Structure 1
Amino acid sequence: MLRVHFTGEALARTVLAAEPDFMWEVTTSLHRLQRRDSGVVFGPWRSRVLQRLPAGVQHLSFLAPSKGYCPDFLTPARGAPRFAQLEALRATHRATARTDLEEFRARHPRLRLPSWCGPLAEGDGRVLGRLADTADAYFDACLAPYWERVRAEVHRDRVQRAAQLARGGWDELFRTLHRSARWSYPVLELDYPVNQDLHLHGRGLVLQPSFFCRFNVVSLVDPGPPPVLVYPIDHDAGWLRPAAPSTASAKALAALLGGTRAALLQAAAEGAATTQQLACRTHTTAPNASRHLTALREAALIRSDRHRNTVLHSATHLGTALLNGQEAALPV
């Protein structure tokens, strides 16, 4: 059981994270890859990404096993941008690496540490650099194509939690945070693989919704860093592929955007892709696709992100909502 001990000051400083956290999603998605109980929610994603795992991912997977403790140093600079978290991982202090690996060995007594863990425990920058590079490559290959949907679902959860907080205060939010949550001020209790107490001592708790966290909440063992509680969000089983528009809505969308732009938006919603890939999917030329993608981007229906030497296009939350015939919140 995990027991989080609040004070009035800590409760006043507790916040809901605004975005999915880069390294928490990397580590929790590695849990999903290693488990065969992903079911209809993550099964299709798992089947796709298993075919394009980057080299070295087995090292990250070893440190992020499907159950139990994952070294705290793998999730540094929580809430910071991707590049900042990777740099923080590369700069892990020797004492931190050694302490976390000792904890890892104690929590997983049946696991035999591979030889590369020796230099890692000494804070070897080359090993830490390889872990950071692998996390970067893994994100590009396995998470980036779906990141816009991940962000949209985390934002949706945050809106729901904010409404709970406005309606019923921390009482309602904490009682519904997780199926195992038991809240009686000043202690929040949640099911956990081990017995652990987190004393906030006036520090605020960051409530971090996670897309790939599936069953239990996750927290840090080290009481030193800013405290965080990672919790799973609810999922739509068909999140991987947006529902195809009905014939009537497809015609309406084509009338609104034009046939080529509607087809490109639908293709981009099925997974991030390059201009050439989207052109092939929609049976048009790359220059024509590029011209229409520019218009869609200017309308905030797609976003274009550079990943190393490649630009990947994906549907925004607004674009996905338009495809699904949902009402989208627009800035006034």
Structure 2
Amino acid sequence: MLRIHFTSHDLQNIRIARQPDPLWELICSVCRLETGQGPLDFGQWRRAAFDRLSRDSVAGRALRPLRGLIPASGYIPDFLTPPVTGGGLQECLDQVRRTPRTQLVHEMSRLAEARPVPNWTTTLDRPGSDTLKSLANALGIYFRALLEPYWPHIRTAVGNDVGLRSRTLLDGGTQALLEGLGPLARWNAPVLEVDYPTERDLHLEGRGLLLVPSYFCWRRPTALADPGLDPVLVYPVAKTPLTVVSGSDGGLERLLGRTRAAVLTAVADQSARTTSEVARAVGIALPSASYQIGVLRDGGLVASHRDGKYVLHAATALGIRLLGADAGRGELLPPRAGSLGR
């Protein structure tokens, strides 16, 4: 669990990034590429990415050094996700190129303590070396090949979430905004308790908090490892797997009805969702979402369970098969080629 400690000043300085951050999306997407996680959310993107990598040797070479720095789980150097400014890809890459040498030394040493690092990384912090510039170029090539074609969809999903959070803030203030992060996080004033793979405490100490909605972030939020950097909390947004419904040529809608088919799709979109989240994703009233989920549950397509004060819903194996996706199917990953400089 990550415990984020607020002061009164921090509560007055909560911000929301208005658009997806290119490098946070990139880092999270590499993690999704390396695993079979989220077959409904990311399966089609992964298949298209592997196809592109098999045909595009330049993109394939760009991925190699990124794999050496971005494990599917565990520590990832913070310099790969510099401060979120709302600028475009080029601004983000320029920030990476300007990473201070002391930060590189510290973070690469920490990465080396956690896992073996490629030989080429030893020159990242060397004065006069072009390694950091080459790494930034690799980030740019990867982004343009594997993320840029999907950027309008990513931007729309993030924009929808920003609109939802903004309305929550306007209607209920910062308390409603923080409570609205459930079930990913729980507001237990003055501490935000976040679902996190390790035990950590982050004291904001008047710096405030930037919430960064992300398309490729999956299941639980993430944050910078260094507590001395500007605090951010990156969290997953609701994703609409349009290909699942459209792939049935309307058969699913004819079988279940348009609203019920959309509810089943929304439930299957993530590992677990609350009734309120489903209602927001589909754009229907809460009582209607509750009723439709109940019908789907009675039909064996949705399973529900209580987690604290929340009731979480997930698609069953039958529901997933009906959507035309096999959640248990593993996806073959391309072999790891040698890293840059080896």
Contact 1:90/1:129, CA 8 A, preserved across alignment: yes
Distance of 1:217 and 1:31 partners within structure 2 = 14
Higher relative contact order (CA 8 A, sep 6+): 2
Deviates more, 1:8-17 or 1:118-127: 118-127
C-alpha contact 2:214 2:237 (8 A) present in aligned 1: yes
2 CA distance for matches of 1:103 and 1:140?
A: 29
What amino acid is aligned across from residue 15 of structure 1 in structure 2? R
- Mapping of 1:1-332 within 5 angstroms? 1-53=1-53, 54=59, 55-79=61-85, 80-106=87-113, 108=114, 111-122=115-126, 125-238=129-242
Rounded to whole Å, the distance in 2 between the matches of 1:209 and 1:73 is 19
Cα distance 1:187–1:239, how it changes in 2: closer, same or farther (>3 A)? farther
Per-residue deviation, 1:227: 1.2
Going from structure 1 to structure 2, the CA distance change for 1:229 and 1:123 (only over 3 Å counts) comes to farther
Query: 2: distance between equivalents of 1:90 and 1:177?
Result: 34
Shift in CA distance, 95/152, structure 1 to aligned 2, threshold 3 Å = same
Which deviates further from its counterpart, 169-178 or 111-120?
169-178
Instruction: Give 1:250's aligned residue.
Output: none
Alignment-mate amino acid for residue 2 of structure 1: L
Residues 74 and 144 (structure 1), Cα distance of their counterparts in 2 relative to 1, 3 Å cut: same
Once the 2 structures are TM-superposed, how far is the Cα of residue 168 of structure 1 from its aligned partner? 2.6
In structure 2, the gaps of 5 or more residues are 54-58, 251-342
Q: State the 1:213 CA deviation.
A: 0.4
1:171 CA drift (Å): 2.4
Q: Does structure 1 retain, via aligned residues, the 8 Å contact 2:69–2:117?
A: no
CA contact (8 A) 1:41 1:238 kept: no
Q: Is the 8 A contact 2:6 2:191 kept in 1?
A: yes
Count of equivalent residues: 243
Relative distance call for 1:123 and 1:4 in structure 2 (3 A) is farther
Q: Within 1, Cα distance between the matches of 2:249 and 2:208? A: 44
* Distance (Å, rounded) in 2 between the aligned partners of 1:5 and 1:173: 16
Distance 1:125 1:5, change over 3 A: farther
Percent sequence identity is 37
For the residue of structure 1 that corresponds to 2:75, the secondary structure is coil
Using the alignment, how far apart are the partners of 2:241 and 2:175 within structure 1?
29
Q: Secondary structure at the match of 2:12?
A: helix
RMSD value, Cα = 2.1
Separation (CA, whole Å) in 2 of partners of 1:61 and 1:42: 18
Task: Give 1:271's aligned residue.
Answer: none
**More moved, 112-121 vs 155-164:** 112-121
Alpha-carbon separation, structure 1, partners of 2:249 and 2:8: 49
Contact 1:98/1:122 (CA < 8 Å) preserved in 2?
no
Q: What TM-score do you get using the length of structure 2 for normalisation?
A: 0.67
Q: What's the secondary structure of 1:218's corresponding residue?
A: coil
Which amino acid counterpart does residue 7 of structure 2 have in structure 1? T
TM-score for both structures, normalised by structure 1: 0.69
Label 1:242 to 1:75 Cα distance change in 2 as closer, same or farther (>3 A).
farther
Secondary structure of the 1:182 match is strand
- Closer, same or farther in 2 for the Cα pair 1:57/1:11, shift >3 Å? same
Task: Determine helix, strand or coil for the equivalent of 1:219.
Answer: coil
Tell me by how many angstroms 1:244 deviates: 10
CA distance in 1, matches of 2:128, 2:69: 16
State the shift of 1:202 in Å.
0.9
Residue 82 of structure 1: how far off its partner (Å): 1.5
Q: Deviations 1:84-125 (Å, cap 9, x if unpaired)?
A: 11011112111101111122233x2xx321111211244664
Q: Which runs of 5+ in 1 are unaligned?
A: 247-332
What letter corresponds to residue 186 of structure 2 in structure 1? Answer: R
